[in-house]
């Protein structure tokens, strides 16, 4: 157990560096490209990704998580998974290339055909990365994963930015995806000792498939549900609106995406190993869920309040119209980290079937409502889709809490109260700050961001202190212990 805790701490540190570095580099590259390119360029890529994101999931097939979750693996299983991934990657590339004209005709934009054909080769590159990355995650070698991903992003980002500066336009974004995928395929294999054997056995990977196919179906359905809004915005508006909507939504969710990635990548292997130790599993889950909400909720509130300043500072005047999408998507982020964490906990228990049932239950309602919006409202706004997502993310939170209470025997109320506790504190502060309009008294945008963030964080901590929040007491003990050690040295 002590060795597991040591690995968990190391995994958390390096995976935090990995996720902040990975998303940090991607964020910086995207900001630079957003100033060099137009919302229309980003909208064209978003339209393609509505369809091609499914290919990425099919290539993964849930195998990466399956490799981590399996208690025992042998060379035949790994080799079989590897060759199956390559086959699927090639098929996805060929299918994507073949349907490019159809995709172009659906939107009525001829340029999409060449762009879709150009990105199709990415799926071959991605298929080579699944097994080595899964093995590194299984062994919690997050330092190697960090170096690999950041290195690939740095190379791809330099090429993409240089291309944009020399007038390659939207093709700069395609190059960014292709070069990153190629570099990841090469660098991941340099980080592992295992090499595939010339052998294949479908029977040997049946157990992995039994776990992975449910995860694959869940992820595909989730992509369909989460990207169907981009399809309808592209059909009823234009690629510029798609670009503004997608970037505003993506940027607001970025901190939550980082948080989920850090927790899940670091602790999914740990939870998988603790799945039979119920007491340890439950206590670890409640502690981490509490910490996640403690950090994620106020961050969502701060982003809501400083959304206009951030968009103006980072993206520039061409992206001002994305502010409304950024602002209201921060409400989704309040649910995103909670739901993402819970989904992985359910998977770690080996119950990916529950996530499948939940997704299938929600799917028809979500798609029906998304389809009905342009039918019922003749002059609808893309913001309607964000409102729909907020409602369904809340429903998903209730379902996740219910499932976890069933498989862990933790009372439903004990889990749900954690989310409610932090949500209402932050919601109250957001309403108060919005009413007071503190930023209106300060002219400089940078100063507005700093002042609003610091004052909000201070008020949040004061309220928690008055309510006797245990996490603050733990934090105080850690700080005092660190100071004491420093004085001793």
Q: What's the farthest any 2 CA atoms get from each other in the chain?
A: 71
- Answer whether residue 481 shows pLDDT above 70: no
Residue with tokens 């020399």: 166
Using CB atoms within 10 A of its CB, is residue 314 exposed (0-12), middle (13-18) or buried (19+)?
Answer: middle
Taking the C-alpha atoms of residue 181 and residue 149, their distance in angstroms, rounded to an integer, is 10
pLDDT band at 139 (very low <50, low <70, confident <90, very high): confident
Mean pLDDT of the 162-191 span? 92
The answer to whether 39 and 110 are in contact (CB under 8 A) is: no
- Give tens-digit pLDDT for 362-396: 777 777 887 888 877 777 888 888 888 888 888 88
Sign of CA dihedral 477, 480, 482, 488: negative
Pick the range with the lowest mean pLDDT from 33-47, 218-232, 242-256, 285-299: 218-232
Mean pLDDT of the 280-305 span? 84
Higher-confidence residue: 144 or 429?
A: 429
User: Containing H/E element for 197?
Assistant: none
pLDDT band at 37 (very low <50, low <70, confident <90, very high): very high
> What 8-state DSSP symbol labels residue 37?
S
Pick the range with the lowest mean pLDDT from 55-69, 104-118, 136-150, 155-169: 55-69
User: Containing H/E element for 237?
Assistant: none
Mean pLDDT of the 6-21 span? 62
Taking the C-alpha atoms of residue 180 and residue 176, their distance in angstroms, rounded to an integer, is 6
Alpha carbon 55 to its chain's center: 17
Higher-confidence residue: 139 or 403?
A: 403
Most confident by average pLDDT, 16-20, 32-36, 394-398: 32-36
Helices (H), 37-141: 39-60, 63-69, 75-107, 111-119, 122-127, 130-138
Helices (H), 120-205: 122-127, 130-138, 142-165, 171-190
**Across all residues in the chain, what is the average pLDDT?**
81
pLDDT at 204: 67
Taking the C-alpha atoms of residue 178 and residue 124, their distance in angstroms, rounded to an integer, is 10
pLDDT at 487: 47
> What 8-state DSSP symbol labels residue 71?
S
Most confident by average pLDDT, 8-12, 33-37, 51-55, 133-137: 33-37
Mean pLDDT of the 203-222 span? 70
Sign of CA dihedral 26, 28, 31, 33: negative
Taking the C-alpha atoms of residue 205 and residue 63, their distance in angstroms, rounded to an integer, is 10
pLDDT at 483: 41
Higher-confidence residue: 287 or 456?
A: 456
Angle formed by the axes of helices 206-236 and 39-60, nearest 10°: 160
Higher-confidence residue: 92 or 352?
A: 92
- Give tens-digit pLDDT for 63-111: 666 676 666 677 787 888 888 888 888 988 998 999 999 988 988 888 9
Taking the C-alpha atoms of residue 394 and residue 412, their distance in angstroms, rounded to an integer, is 15
pLDDT at 103: 87
Taking the C-alpha atoms of residue 291 and residue 308, their distance in angstroms, rounded to an integer, is 28
- Answer whether residue 480 shows pLDDT above 50: no
pLDDT at 256: 79
Mean pLDDT of the 159-183 span? 94
Pick the range with the lowest mean pLDDT from 117-126, 169-178, 285-294, 443-452: 285-294
Taking the C-alpha atoms of residue 389 and residue 397, their distance in angstroms, rounded to an integer, is 12
pLDDT at 226: 73
Taking the C-alpha atoms of residue 248 and residue 321, their distance in angstroms, rounded to an integer, is 9
Mean pLDDT of the 444-469 span? 88
Residues of the chain with pLDDT > 70, as a percent, come to: 81
pLDDT band at 8 (very low <50, low <70, confident <90, very high): low
pLDDT band at 165 (very low <50, low <70, confident <90, very high): very high
- Answer whether residue 471 shows pLDDT above 80: no
Taking the C-alpha atoms of residue 57 and residue 230, their distance in angstroms, rounded to an integer, is 18
């Amino acid at each position: 157990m002590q060795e597991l805790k040591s690995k968990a701490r190391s995994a958390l540190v390096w995976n935090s560096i990995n996720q902040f570095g990975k998303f940090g580099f991607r964020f910086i590259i995207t900001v630079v490209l957003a100033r060099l390119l137009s919302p229309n360029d980003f909208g064209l890529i978003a339209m393609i990704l509505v369809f091609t994101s499914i290919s990425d999931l099919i290539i993964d097939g849930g195998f990466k998580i399956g490799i981590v979750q399996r208690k025992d693996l042998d060379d035949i299983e790994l080799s079989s998974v590897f060759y199956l991934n390559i086959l699927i990657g090639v098929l996805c590339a060929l299918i994507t290339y073949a349907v490019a004209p159809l995709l172009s005709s659906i939107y009525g934009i001829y340029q999409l055909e060449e762009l879709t054909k150009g990105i199709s080769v990415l799926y071959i590159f991605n298929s080579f990365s699944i097994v080595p990355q899964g093995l590194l995650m299984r062994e919690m070698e997050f330092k190697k994963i960090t170096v690999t991903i950041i290195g690939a992003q740095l190379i791809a980002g330099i090429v993409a930015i240089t291309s944009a500066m020399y007038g390659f336009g939207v093709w700069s974004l395609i190059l960014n995806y292709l070069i990153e995928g190629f570099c990841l395929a090469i660098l991941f294999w340099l980080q592992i000792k295992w090499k595939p054997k010339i052998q294949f056995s479908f029977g040997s990977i049946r157990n992995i498939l039994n776990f992975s196919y449910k995860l694959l179906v869940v992820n595909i359905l989730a992509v369909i549900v989460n990207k169907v809004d981009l399809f309808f915005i592209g059909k009823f508006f234009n690629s510029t609106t798609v670009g503004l909507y997608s970037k505003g939504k993506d940027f607001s969710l970025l901190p939550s995406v980082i948080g989920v990635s850090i927790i899940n990548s670091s602790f999914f292997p740990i939870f998988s190993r603790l799945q039979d130790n119920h007491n340890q599993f439950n206590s670890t889950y409640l502690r981490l869920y509490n910490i996640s909400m403690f950090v994620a909720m106020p961050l969502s509130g701060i982003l809501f309040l400083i959304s206009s300043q951030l968009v103006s500072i980072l993206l520039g005047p061409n992206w001002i119209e994305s502010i409304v999408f950024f602002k209201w998507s921060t409400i989704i982020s309040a649910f995103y980290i909670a739901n993402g964490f819970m989904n992985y906990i359910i998977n770690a228990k080996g119950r990916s079937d529950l996530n499948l049932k939940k997704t299938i239950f929600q799917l028809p309602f979500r798609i029906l409502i998304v389809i009905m919006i342009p039918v019922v409202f003749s002059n609808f706004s893309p913001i309607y889709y964000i409102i729909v997502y907020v409602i369904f993310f809340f429903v998903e939170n209730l379902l996740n809490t219910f499932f976890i209470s069933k498989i862990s025997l933790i009372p439903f109320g004990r889990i749900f109260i954690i989310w409610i506790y932090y949500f209402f504190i932050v919601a109250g502060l957001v309403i108060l700050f919005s009413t007071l309009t503190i930023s209106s008294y300060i002219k400089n945008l940078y100063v507005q961001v700093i002042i609003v963030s610091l004052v909000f964080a201070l008020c949040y901590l004061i309220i928690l202190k008055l309510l006797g929040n245990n996490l603050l007491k733990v934090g105080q003990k850690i700080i005092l212990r660190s100071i004491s050690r420093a004085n001793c040295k």
